[in-house]
Structure 1
Amino acid sequence: MAQVPLSMNPVQFSCSICLELLKDPVTIPCGHSYCMSCLTDYWDCQPICSCPQCRATFSPRPTLGRNTLLAEMLQSLGAVKLSEGPSAPPLYEDHGFEHATFDVSSVRPERTDGERLLGETRRYLAQQIEESESELQQLKQTLRSFSRLAKAAVKDSSKIFSELQEFVERRRVEMKELIRAQEKAEVTRAENQLQRLEQQISELRRRDAELEKLSHSQDQHRITQSMCQSYCSPVSAGAASSLVVSPHVSFGPVRKAISDLKEQLQSLYHREFPNITSAVKTVNILQMEKANKALEAGDSAHIPSLDSRTDLLQCEKHQSDLNQNSVTSQSSSTKHDSAFLFLCRLLFAVFGPVHSTQGAFPD
């Protein structure tokens, strides 16, 4: 009997990097599969390990392991040699003679179940496409909003630092005015004292000159009177004698106080800047918690074993029942049975279990 053709799209099992059928396939935590050599070369050229399709990032770099299940599927796909040719004539076509040993309609439920499986898978894919498109639109909108928020944050931070710069500039002007005022006050006080000292010296020299003249006089009464006047009205030197001139005047303490203030500001900045950096890094568009959990669980969590899938067991059980019901035609339908079972395994391995309210197969 003719072999039932089975058509599969090879694009579904091709590497998105080299666009060829997968060679030594590996599956990364996000669920996508690539050639091991292609993905290794791609990650070696990238600063961050990420999926070329969904852009999910992984840190640390995952250890790549060969997906044995998918490799066997691809090997079986090549062995079966799926064709795109026209469908073979139905097995139940009238051949002009009676079928005495088997029922020609025994393969009809198998084809119906295969079509139902494909229909359920297409509906599942349509749902996934709809959800992905919704996520795509939401991500685009979030990106636009994020760009606006980032621009506003840059503007606000620039404004705050400008205000801080203006504050420091005002303090600099105040400090300059304070030093100039102190300089003016001290210079004025010193100049006044200098003027008083000069006047005092002039007065003392004048009196000394008068006493020198009296020293040549013979009139004792006049000498006594002049001496009394000199001692009774002495030059006020108390203020001058109470002043102590600083021999090492300096603005060193002022400079030290300003330097201490600068160090305190720098210390405050270095202490608080990590908090600012942490606050900036918490603003994320994508949350990678699921990807990280998948990374910890390992690659096997994304492509479970076929033996653990209830739907696949149902598929094999249903195939076994069909074989028992058509014992007499087993030799003529073996290739078709293997192709159908391979299709079931391939769909489950790539797309996962298909959930239906009616079940994947009838009881």
Structure 2
Amino acid sequence: MAEAMVEDQDQYSCSICLDLMKDPVTIPCGHSYCMVCIGNYWDRDEMKRINCPQCRQNFVPRPVLNKNTMLAEIMENLRNSKAAPPAQKTADPEDIDCDFCSGNGVKAVKSCLECRASYCETHLQPHFDIPALKRHKLVSATNLPTCQKHDKLLEVYCRTDQKCICMMCLMDDHRGHDTVSCATEREEKEVKVKTIKNKFEEKCKEKEKELCELQKDIESHVSSAQQAVKDTKKAFKESISLIEKKCSEIIEVIRAQEKDDLDRLGDDREQLELDIAKLRAQGDVLDKFLQKGDVYFLQNCGKMPNPSDDEDCSAQSKDLINSFKNVSKTVSEFKDKLEVFCKQEADDIVNTVSDLATKTNLDLDPDFLFKIGDKVCVRSSVKTPKFNWGAHVTHKSIGVVKAVHGDTLFVNFPEHKNWKGDISELELVTNSTEQEASAQNNSIKVGDQVRVKPSVDTPKHKWGGITHQSVGTVKTIDGEALTVDFPEYSGWRGIVPEMEVVPADDQVSATNCSFNVGDKVRVKLTIVTPKHQWGGVTHRSTGTVTGTKDDLVTVDFPECKGWKGLLSEMELISITDSKACFKIGDRVKVNASVTNPKRGWGGASHKSVGVVVAVNGESITVDFPEHKSWNGTVSEMELVSGANSELCKFNCGDRVRVKSSVKTPKYNWGSISHKSVGTVKALKLVVDFPEQSNWSGDPKEMEVAP
């Protein structure tokens, strides 16, 4: 009997103190409590309500509390016979002790900001049961930070001094400062931290996707190489000993090419795996950081890691899918022409294997790819067609082939009749693709956030002050015509095929433009005339924000104090802004948002890439291939990186030679050799060798000669 009572002792515990009842009393609803606990509970109720803590039944008047003698005897027997209570988890040195447990330190699970105390699971229960305590704010167990000067809880954040303070400090040293509650400041900064965490997760997913695609490419590449070896062996076994020798040479080249590719792809795979592990680790750090208390969070928020786009190293193996298929075809043709062209064809096979990275399905006869009447569109991988886009042709435009002349197609698009394009830039359109494109064009609705497609050079009704970066709201749609309200131009007219819906993430970044007092700003280059006029200010003027209200900002410019403008018309000037960090030798081009440079084009264009030769304040001097010593403005330029990195390592006049690791240059040897040293004539790359002038080469195959 006693053992059963011990095992079920929870039913004899007071729901207020969570211990066995002392001087138990039973109230009218039938529930029992310690006499002291229920009395204190009724006395502390701010609303002066007399009710049961469990069933909430109200009693009027207040019941008289009498000891339940029978229950008291049971409690006494239970105390005498009960086993020792289970041991609480003791606190480790780095843990917080419960302030209400006696003896050895017991680990606290929560801290109360109102009580300024930490509780274990047992002593925390009243905060969940007692209404008055339910309103207290609980946080993960932590050493509650207090003000060293006033011994008060730090619950206010001073934005002026960037520190946490107590209420006494607010009335003393920080009077008149910009202050908010720690919770409010945390909410604002927590959004930024969560945004950073989301970036880590997005990058992790991107890396995982790239890793999966890379694995498929490797398997396909290996399979393609194996098939090429098999076909090569079969063809050469039917030939004479001389051909068997050439067969071995070709197999060696295939194996070497396969090994080079797999070595490179293996490095890419390892890098992706390292990047994924790093991103996950940094994401875990942010998860733990988000569990910290307000003060610790605010004091260490700026030290948290942030993903950098500069560390991205995406694997590029798209050109390796089925890359060895053409070898089998070339070997079969070689067999038929063996007697006449033995040596010549064997060398061609070697060249075929070496050039696989640049081979495409367009090696086939183009007349068999497209026929008159076929429906075609521009490939999504083509940024600018060889003969330009024309009036309003885009990637989503679908036209009908009118004529085929060699590598050139003539297509009738709805936006441009008799459009001229290169056959390698076009692809066939199936019925499903056409339906998809049509549905996408019809998906724009009134109220959508839209912008001009990147492929549209000049809209049908002109720019009118907006740019590719401008985001506006669709006001009306009439057939293919639509009206859009942009910050730079209200009531702008355009056509549906020229526009695209802005993704949700871009909309957030486009609309959440805000500045703080003291920020350095300037008028965006895309603004032709600010809403409240220039007032002596120009695009080159740099001012300091002195105030913001709704969508208005007040700025002190050197040319105009108290200048007023719209938030959407302004942009922050960052110390790390690349436009302000050009160095002599950097490769630059005119920013795509600049319609006409301040000092004119002078033969250059948006596609021109030149080298910085001088920087003087806002003035910059650039050597373009089309115009030497071209003068421009720093704010009009942007750095060129990535694709031109190999080309950037050479300058006109440099002495160069072919790398010793290159067996056959991309554009063949001509009259030169590994020992030939020439002078760079043009950065495309054109070199004058003693053995051959105007020799063309691939920058990746070249090195500066000692």
Same fold? TM cut 0.5: no
User: Which TM-score applies when normalising by structure 1?
Assistant: 0.25
Structure with greater strand share of residues: 2
Q: Kindly name which structure, 1 or 2, has the bigger radius of gyration based on alpha carbons.
A: 1
User: Which TM-score applies when normalising by structure 2?
Assistant: 0.14
Which structure carries more relative contact order (alpha carbon 8 Å, separation 6+)?
Answer: 1
